[in-house]
Structure 1
Amino acid sequence: MTTTAEAIALVTAARTPGDLFDGPSPHRVYRALARLLHPDLAPGAEAAEAFTRLAELWAARGGAPETVITTGRGSYRLGGVLRHGATAVLYRSGPDTLLKIPRSHTDNDLMRREADALETIGRDGDPLLLPYVPRLVESFRHRSGGVERQANVISRVPDGFVGLDEIARRRPVLDARDVAWIWRRLLVAVGAAHRAGVVHGAVFGHHVLVHPVDHGLVLVDWSQSVPTGTPVTALVARHRDDYPPEVMARRPATPALDIQLATRCVAALMGDRAPVPIRRFVRGSLLAPPDDAWRLLAELDDLLDDLYGPRTYRPLRL
């Protein structure tokens, strides 16, 4: 096995960890495959998919050597891979922290954007609203395999949180009363960022995590974020068609962008079964999204009071 093409074929054909690592030198096999498939050395979608699959099989084998990264502020023991994102890998690094490392050093700027945004919100945001966004623990440069990457250590969302994409998969249509608390909390999350001068820029379902029972919400992945008034230049490729025209035209980003994308998220959860007044409210928020999440939240509360009366707790059953 001497070429990337051979490595891709070998990993693609593997169905279990044993198909790759049952020989006498599993660590040597893993390192050889990783070198041939690494995104920095083997560009292309096939190699990237094979590299991700290799990491999954190696983690499933349970034999990966323990890695400890030590910085001036602390040591982080890399556990298993929590998630392979399009541009970064999330590792468990402690009981309540995650280590986020870009898959390619060409995406170091995305990690810096996230670090800048979370640091700004943590410093300038309302302390009571900080649980709506991850906490930046540390950001540092990490060299491995001759390549330097920007790494972020962030607070880990507690167990039990589920992405809106996963909720939509389990329950294609939700009652508007179940969506109401998600909508309210999502407006609070973006509103807290806007008060600190940050636009998230990618409020999509897989970035919105909620707790169905406790009704918590955390808006994650701030790597596409920008300071208010700055054009959004890093887009989520699979949502390219969901961005409003002003983003594609590189116009300065305003809070209206996050509000419009957030409205799309909650509208998708309700489908066409929402009461007519709510559908009208959604339509207005999409056609002319305001620049003030708090004003929209007040208007939403008035609408919900008129429709449903005093608020009552509804667990979201998945």
Structure 2
Amino acid sequence: MRLDELRRLNKLLTEASDPSDVFMALRDRSLQGDAQRLALAGEHRRLESLANPERFMGNPPAQDLAREIVARLGELYRTAIAALDAGTAEGVVPAEVVLPAEVTPPEDPPPQWRASEPVRVGEPAGFESAGFELVAGANRYRLEAQVGIGDLATIFRGRCTAGARVGAEVAAKLAIDRADNSFILAEIQALRLLQQGDGRQRGQLPELLDLFHGGEGQAGVVLGWIDGFDGEALRGRFPEGVPPEHVIWIGRRLLSVVGHAHKLGVLHANIEPAHIIVRPRDHHVSLIDWCYCVIEPARTHQGFRVYNPDFSAPEVAEKKAPLPAADLYSVGRCMLYLCGGDMASGAMPGAVDDRLQRFIRYLTRQSPLQRAQDAWEMFSELERVRAAVYGAHRFIELVVP
């Protein structure tokens, strides 16, 4: 944070007459209960981090101002929590959210929620009909099809039929059991944090539209639908591996959204091909499913919550403290997978240039201390590799068989 930004934050706090003047979570009509508390805690942590006095070492006046801001933020946060406990928080208007009790996941659902190719309106692709409506405040959604079920949630596809986004395609994600609510709420918190700042990488993230609860109290979230192939489906179309030149731009875009998240203190902690959505026509890449994220581990002492033998870093299995290097390992393993590499030995096809192979091996070193640490540095390094191997930048269409 620059000094002028610190002063603007101080002005906001000085002029605030109520916590809702500072914390947007208290004014968000779509938030209620635990989701509102999580969003409020996330806002507080973010602002407190921005005003950390250690950011202004060597400038005693700025450090003093930062300490005053952190203290004032703490007071407002405690006041907000007390008001929520008492049900008197100013500006808090819970959304009216209704989900029919009869909406339950059908038996024997597909093993994953992404089709082998993009699902579009009018192309149900054999999925079971959902056929129910979801009301969230002024917004209404028609969920037309169940598109799969994962470890934690059932996913439905539909569209907005009333409200600000009429006609837009959406995905509704509903926890299978109330015991899994914390994972849905963690994703909500992460997505709210990741929409902060001015990075264009926000467009590479699921768009959070509304929150809701199921008939048995399960947490649910409505997200904008993301068109494209997931990494598993894309790799399946190329028996010998995705052409390396295309793996490079997929890797760079993935590193950019990971770098954006790390800058805001969020580790995805479960990057795998199924969570990467690639849109070939314009080389757009999205990173989805933030349910297992880790937020500011040094502060929150959160640990890893899931281990994937093919894509998780060794330190995840060893239950070590989360570091950004773990996400970079997973990015490297995804690139190895897309290239058609051997997931056991790490060997890659001869079509993969040695320089790209060395880059992937650097991301996937076993020791986190010897591995790449900074996603943005690797983003720039991968561009240098691309230029060295393929020359001047040019757009080459990815033709999917």
Q: TM-score range by the shorter chain?
A: 0.7 to 0.9
- Counterpart of 1:193, as a letter, is A
> What per-residue deviation string (whole Å, max 9, x for no partner) do you get for residues 108-146 of structure 1?
111011101001111x2434221111111122333x1xx
Query: By how many angstroms is 1:73 displaced?
Result: 4.9
C-alpha separation between the residues in 2 aligned to 1:246 and 1:193?
Answer: 20
- Counterpart of 1:310, as a letter, is A
Query: By how many angstroms is 1:72 displaced?
Result: 3.1
Partner of 2:181: 108
The correspondence of residues 8-47 of structure 1 with structure 2, limited to 5 A, is none
Partner of 2:163: none
C-alpha separation between the residues in 2 aligned to 1:267 and 1:151?
Answer: 34
Q: Which moved more, 1:100-109 or 1:200-209?
A: 100-109
The correspondence of residues 103-182 of structure 1 with structure 2, limited to 5 A, is 103-122=176-195, 124-142=196-214, 144=215, 147-158=216-227, 161-172=228-239, 173-182=241-250
Give the secondary structure class of the aligned counterpart of 1:52.
coil
Partner of 2:172: 99
C-alpha separation between the residues in 2 aligned to 1:251 and 1:79?
Answer: 43
> What per-residue deviation string (whole Å, max 9, x for no partner) do you get for residues 266-302 of structure 1?
1112132311111112112211332211111111111
Query: By how many angstroms is 1:196 displaced?
Result: 1.6
Query: By how many angstroms is 1:310 displaced?
Result: 0.5
Partner of 2:256: 188
Q: How many residues align?
A: 261
CA contact (8 A) 2:212 2:220 kept: yes
C-alpha separation between the residues in 2 aligned to 1:77 and 1:184?
Answer: 36
Query: By how many angstroms is 1:163 displaced?
Result: 0.8
Partner of 1:266: 335
CA contact (8 A) 1:102 1:108 kept: yes
CA shift in 2, pair 1:205/1:61, >3 Å: closer
- State the TM-score, normalizing by the size of structure 1: 0.75
Partner of 2:318: 249
C-alpha separation between the residues in 2 aligned to 1:286 and 1:280?
Answer: 10
Give the secondary structure class of the aligned counterpart of 1:148.
coil
Q: Which moved more, 1:240-249 or 1:185-194?
A: 240-249
> What per-residue deviation string (whole Å, max 9, x for no partner) do you get for residues 19-59 of structure 1?
xxxxxxxxxxxxxxx99xx78xxxxxxxx9x4427xx9xx9
Query: By how many angstroms is 1:254 displaced?
Result: 2.0
- Counterpart of 1:259, as a letter, is L
CA contact (8 A) 2:129 2:146 kept: no
- State the TM-score, normalizing by the size of structure 2: 0.60
CA contact (8 A) 1:126 1:192 kept: no
CA contact (8 A) 1:118 1:136 kept: yes
CA contact (8 A) 2:109 2:148 kept: no
List runs of 5+ in structure 2 lacking aligned partners: 1-101, 114-124, 160-167, 342-347
- Counterpart of 2:306, as a letter, is L
Partner of 2:385: 303
- Counterpart of 1:300, as a letter, is L
CA shift in 2, pair 1:216/1:63, >3 Å: closer
Query: By how many angstroms is 1:63 displaced?
Result: 7.0
Partner of 1:206: 274
Query: By how many angstroms is 1:314 displaced?
Result: 1.5
Query: By how many angstroms is 1:210 displaced?
Result: 0.3
CA contact (8 A) 1:224 1:232 kept: no
- Counterpart of 1:297, as a letter, is F
CA contact (8 A) 1:231 1:251 kept: no
C-alpha separation between the residues in 2 aligned to 1:253 and 1:225?
Answer: 10
- The structure where helix makes up a greater share of residues is 1
C-alpha separation between the residues in 1 aligned to 2:371 and 2:127?
Answer: 49
- Counterpart of 1:84, as a letter, is I
Partner of 1:69: 134
Displaced runs of 4+ in structure 1, greater than 3 A? 59-64, 230-233
C-alpha separation between the residues in 2 aligned to 1:61 and 1:224?
Answer: 26
C-alpha separation between the residues in 2 aligned to 1:249 and 1:77?
Answer: 44
CA shift in 2, pair 1:164/1:105, >3 Å: same
Q: Please tell me whether residue 82 in structure 1 is matched to residue 82 in structure 2.
A: no
CA contact (8 A) 2:206 2:286 kept: yes
C-alpha separation between the residues in 2 aligned to 1:190 and 1:222?
Answer: 12
Query: By how many angstroms is 1:231 displaced?
Result: 3.9
Partner of 1:234: 305
Partner of 1:284: 362
Partner of 1:15: none
- Counterpart of 2:209, as a letter, is V
Query: By how many angstroms is 1:233 displaced?
Result: 3.8
- Counterpart of 1:215, as a letter, is H
CA shift in 2, pair 1:215/1:255, >3 Å: same
> What per-residue deviation string (whole Å, max 9, x for no partner) do you get for residues 180-218 of structure 1?
110110101111111221111111000001012210111
C-alpha separation between the residues in 2 aligned to 1:61 and 1:296?
Answer: 39
